[in-house]
Structure 1
Amino acid sequence: MVNSGFLMALRFLFVVCVVALSCSAEARKLEALVEEEPLVLTYHNGPLLSSAPIDVHVVWYGKFTAVQRSIVADYLQSLGAHLHGKAKMPSVNSWWKTTEKYQIAASNHAAVSIARLGKQKIDETYSLGKSLKRSDLAFLVQSSVKSGALPLPEKNNAVYLVLTAEDVLVEGFCMNSCGYHANVLPSSTDGQKLLSYAWVGNSVTQCPGQCAWPFHQPLYGPQSPPLIAPNGDVGIDGMIINIATVLAGAVTNPFNTGYFQGDAAAPLEAVSACPGIYGKGAYPGYAGELLVDGTTGASYNAHGLNGRQFLLPAMWDPATKSCKTLI
């Protein structure tokens, strides 16, 4: 889940104290707060989403422009870009292939992890209003499947992604989450297999400093200038980062019995275990060394389909037991 903002805030504050050399006692207290055990995501012997291809079905809740929807769609299609020919490197697909290592480590045999854009449902009428509880997000998935707007998976190979527009308030949004993944039964009365679903909100008008960094100045810590968003939309480019985070978590820890560290109710997962890291040399307040588009000045680290560029977070690599960046 994308619940690392509080931890990042503590890290930022600790670094500031150390640099200032004027609050050593507080620094020691904060150091104790953020001191972590070695970063190792343990496999808890549960199922992963491993039946390829993994379909990502999308519920668009609220008003998104056609351009905004195309940016997200191009990102999701780019996860399996090798199906469409070779993509420029580093690519979105090469980032996603790290999830194969989780499957290999869990099963001890070769695996292929392919994700792709599935079916889409557009709800521009705000059918449940503009203030949603988490249970409403689960209901959106259930009702979309029940109505036939989105299909039931034939195997354990689908994630239902609910995306909420910038004017939609969601329980816990900004306060402790930029997005999360969970699971739900197809309906409240049947006993079919659980569906894996995820949610990400557009934070551009609510909390860009928490959920759209580094394309907006951070709420806490060093106030370095924000980076230019690769697709020209701070909210959507911030959503891409959080979509990447929750999808990686949904695949490698779909039912809270996969790969994670810590409490199963608030786990550190494939990407959330590596907060704020996008390129080599990253540290609190600095995203790391990135590629820069010569025309727009935008920062990115991954190429996608249709000439798209994206900024993707580091993912913990089971082979090296470290946070892996594309560049």
Structure 2
Amino acid sequence: MSSPSILSKTTLLLALLASLASVTIGFQSRKLTELYQQQPELLTYHNGAVLRGDLPISVLWYGQFTSAQKSIISDFILSLTVTTQAPNPSVAQWWKTIDRFYLSKTVKNNGPKSTNMLLANQITDEKCSLGRSLSLSQISQLAANTKPRKGGIALVFTAQDVTVDGFCMSRCGLHSSNKKVGYTYIWIGNSATQCPGQCAWPFHKPIYGPQTPALVAPNGDVGMDGMVINLASMIAGALTNPFGDGFYQGPKEAPLEAATACTGVYGKGAFSGYAGNLLVDPTTGASYNANGAHGRKYLVPALFDPVTSTCATLV
């Protein structure tokens, strides 16, 4: 799910080669080769549900994550609120862009006027109760184990030594749903030892395409900073197309969504192998485009603007 409405050949090449690191899927498994195909020009609303209001978030850490690693993700989730005090460009500003481009267009007369992520509970499964090689159906099972609330989102994070069906080959994460219960879920894997060149670019050299130098990760952890990128992309898709009938372009089985339509674009001037003009921390040399809670810095994907059919970036 993914960026602009009309993708140039250069952007398509970017999406395929240089941005394998942030490739993710939504409802159905979208193969990497499908990025070769010319996409429809418009990312449109298909009259289905979007997620608005107060969204309870449940989290499952599957495998070994250090406290420092967990805090990178937790601070990012905390940053997804307009009340977070962080200088612009900020994660909260990016969050409001999703609302402005998509969610506000579906507000009914008495519907909620804002969207808030509320952390409900966290579970840790360090011993990997289902093993260290998971199928997608087991990801769904793990999401259910978090006991997500109706209308909420379950987040499943797998550690760097856990393999998941299709991980690195065709996806870095996914979002899907349990329509019967009425919640959505997101899975993101830590690619640090399995495929950082695919799922943690631009903080690692890509496996394919232009071999430009890797950028310095803003939180000093290539795997976790890559997870943030993919989490942001999947959150954008889960909010705007939670049950497969919201905002998307292309076939329903392999849609491009709010962020995945802009895969590999993070700043103005992005092209194949180049993430765009980003901010650089003068002390650490880390590249970023959004400030977050507790002084954190993050890299978040561009969002497709349905009005201008372009990828909108924070910087």
Structure 1 residue 193: Cα displacement: 3.1
* Cα offsets for 1:187-223 (capped at 9, x unmatched): xxxxx53220010000011111110000000111110
> Structure 2 counterpart of 1:94, which letter?
Q
Among 163, 170, 184, the residue aligned to 1:176: 170
CA distance in 1, matches of 2:76, 2:17: 34
Overall identity of the aligned pairs, in %: 49
Among 195, 199, 211, the residue aligned to 1:223: 211
Distance 1:15 1:140, change over 3 A: closer
CA contact (8 A) 2:40 2:249 kept: no
Structure 1 residue 111: Cα displacement: 3.1
Distance 1:230 1:161, change over 3 A: same
Structure 1 residue 47: Cα displacement: 0.7
Structure 1 residue 140: Cα displacement: 1.0
CA distance in 1, matches of 2:299, 2:98: 18
- Say yes or no: does 1:264 pair with 2:252: yes
Distance 1:54 1:144, change over 3 A: closer
CA contact (8 A) 1:98 1:317 kept: no
**Superposition pairs of residues 1-327 of structure 1, within 5 angstroms:** 1=1, 11=13, 33-38=36-41, 40-50=42-52, 52-80=53-81, 82-84=82-84, 86-101=85-100, 102-107=102-107, 111-145=113-147, 151-153=148-150, 156=151, 158-184=152-178, 192-327=180-315
**Unaligned segments of structure 2, at least 5 residues:** 3-8, 19-32
Structure 1 residue 70: Cα displacement: 0.4
**Unaligned segments of structure 1, at least 5 residues:** 17-29, 146-150, 186-191
Distance 1:116 1:95, change over 3 A: farther
CA distance in 1, matches of 2:208, 2:239: 30
Q: 1:27 corresponds to which residue? A: none
> Structure 1 counterpart of 2:58, which letter?
H
> Structure 1 counterpart of 2:89, which letter?
P
| Length-normalised TM-score, structure 2 | 0.86
Q: C-alpha root-mean-square deviation of aligned residues, in Å?
A: 2.5
CA contact (8 A) 2:14 2:271 kept: no
CA distance in 2, matches of 1:54, 1:291: 31
CA distance in 2, matches of 1:237, 1:214: 10
Distance 1:97 1:12, change over 3 A: closer
CA contact (8 A) 1:11 1:34 kept: no
> Structure 1 counterpart of 2:240, which letter?
T
CA distance in 2, matches of 1:117, 1:273: 28
CA contact (8 A) 1:9 1:220 kept: no
Structure 1 residue 108: Cα displacement: 6.7
Structure 1 residue 258: Cα displacement: 0.3
> Structure 2 counterpart of 1:112, which letter?
S
Q: 2:5 corresponds to which residue? A: none
Aligned length: 291
Largest Rg, 1 or 2: 1
CA distance in 2, matches of 1:117, 1:224: 38
* Cα offsets for 1:123-144 (capped at 9, x unmatched): 1010000000000011112233
CA distance in 1, matches of 2:169, 2:189: 13
* Cα offsets for 1:242-266 (capped at 9, x unmatched): 0001111000000000000011111
Structure with more contact order per residue of length (Cα contacts < 8 Å, sep ≥ 6): 2
CA distance in 2, matches of 1:44, 1:168: 36
CA contact (8 A) 2:218 2:298 kept: yes
> Structure 2 counterpart of 1:166, which letter?
Q
CA distance in 2, matches of 1:182, 1:13: 22
Instruction: Report SS of the residue matched to 1:114.
Output: strand
Distance 1:253 1:10, change over 3 A: closer
CA distance in 2, matches of 1:171, 1:127: 17
Structure 1 residue 99: Cα displacement: 1.8
Distance 1:168 1:14, change over 3 A: closer
CA distance in 2, matches of 1:268, 1:162: 22
Distance 1:206 1:9, change over 3 A: farther
